[in-house]
Amino acid sequence: MVEDHSEKPLITSEQLRRQGQRACEWLDEEMSVIPVFGKIQKVTGISASLQAFICINILVWKAITGDLAKEIAILVGTAYPFFKSISALQTDTNVEDDKTWLTYWMCYGCFTVADMHVGWILQIIPFYYMLKLMLLIWLQLPLGPFMGAKIIYNWILHPIFRCIGPTIKRFQERHADDMYKLNWDMKANLDDLKKTAMEAGTQVFVEAAMEKMVED
């Protein structure tokens, strides 16, 4: 018998079709959380996944051309996580989703602060805003342990905090009393300033009233 030594494909077209169908079903379920997509789907019959695909293509094109790139980055980085965070807060039984989106917002905050300081340098990189959008999408995609935010936290943020965390804690314990005293002094000074302003305003009002009475 002649053995068939032809290499079998790593993935068949049927498997690709099933994976694509699962991805569309997942995207439909996730995008239906957003009220606008859900209403459009009910009225027009256009699936939420197709709406999301169209919106993503428009955003990508705008990011490539540089039109409203910063605004688009803010929208992509906050819209979907915002709705997912609200859904997570409304469930009391599953704490894993709370940890997931808390991890995302921590990573997003660190990325935003870093981008504020060095973003003007990184803009010389070709397709910087496109890469930025891809990074934000990767951070929030619910891929289990391969979710971007979890990877960034486990491999970067957690080791950094493990190194500087004890130092921050010691500094906080050492200067807690000083910070409390400073806060108290600032509050006392603010109260004195309000009192002085009220007295000065009252004095001006009385003088103006007396002058008016003398004129009459």
The proportion of the chain whose per-residue pLDDT surpasses 90, expressed as a percent, equals: 11
The mean pLDDT value for 119-145 works out to 82
| CA distance readout (Å), 23 to 14, 19, 183 | 14, 6, 53
| pTM for this model (two decimals) | 0.62
For residue range 159-174, list pLDDT tens digits in order. 888 888 787 777 767 7
Give the model's pLDDT for residue 106. Answer: 92
What are the extents of the domains in the chain?
15-144
Please give the Cα distance from 152 to 156 (Å, whole number). 5
Give the model's pLDDT for residue 108. Answer: 94
Give the model's pLDDT for residue 104. Answer: 94
Q: What secondary structure does DSSP assign to the chain, as a single string?
A: -----PPPPSS-HHHHHHHHHHHHHHHHHHHTTSHHHHHHHHHH---HHHHHHHHHHHHHHHHHHTTTHHHHHHHHHHHHHHHHHHHHHT-SS--HHHHHHHHHHHHHHHHHHHHHHHHHHHTTSTTHHHHHHHHHHHHHS--GGG-HHHHHIIIIIHHHHHHHHHHHHHHHHHHHHHHHHHHHHHHHHHHHHHHHHHHHHHHHHHHHHHHHHHH-
Amino acid, res. 133: L
Tokens of 37: 């997509």
For residue range 63-94, list pLDDT tens digits in order. 777 667 788 888 889 988 998 888 888 887 77
